[in-house]
């Protein structure tokens, strides 16, 4: 999740991406990082069959540099679109 191009970034894991994006957009948890920094746009996501693989990937991404994270987004989303409102989000 992000708030604006090259702005604040949030990395997380979920078993229901549609629900979780809705929670971020509606600031369901007002004291959370995403609510405080208005990270309400989905810039990048990956799908995993097994939760342990998703958790390991989350840890890997969080351990990387900001530049690495920006490159992840820009490689698949160079215009920094909110993928949660794009057709590609539902079929990726």
Q: What is the pLDDT of residue 89?
A: 54
The ranges assigned to domains in the chain are 17-91
Among the ranges given (54-58, 75-79, 85-89), the one the predictor scored with the smallest mean pLDDT: 85-89
11-37 pLDDT, tens per residue?
999 999 999 999 999 999 999 999 999
Q: Which two three-digit tokens encode residue 2?
A: 């992000």
Max CA separation in the chain (angstroms): 32
Residue 91 has pLDDT above 50, yes or no: no
Q: How confident is the model at residue 92 (pLDDT cuts 50, 70, 90)?
A: very low
Question: What is the spatial distance between Cα 2 and Cα 7, in angstroms, rounded to a whole number?
Answer: 7
DSSP string, the chain: -BSSTTS-B-----S-HHHHHHHHHTTSSTTSHHHHTT--B-------SSHHHHHHHHHHHHHS-HHHHHHHHHHH-TT---GGGSHHHHH-
Question: What is the spatial distance between Cα 37 and Cα 59, in angstroms, rounded to a whole number?
Answer: 21
């Amino acid at each position: 999740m992000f708030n604006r191009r090259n702005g604040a970034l949030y990395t997380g894991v979920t078993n229901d991406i549609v629900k979780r994006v809705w929670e971020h957009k509606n600031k369901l948890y007002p004291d959370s990082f995403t609510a405080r920094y208005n990270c309400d746009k989905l810039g990048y996501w990956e799908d995993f069959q097994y939760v342990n693989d998703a958790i390991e990937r989350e840890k890997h991404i969080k351990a990387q540099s900001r530049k690495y994270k920006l490159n992840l987004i820009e490689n698949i989303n160079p215009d920094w679109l909110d993928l949660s409102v794009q057709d590609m989000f539902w079929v990726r």
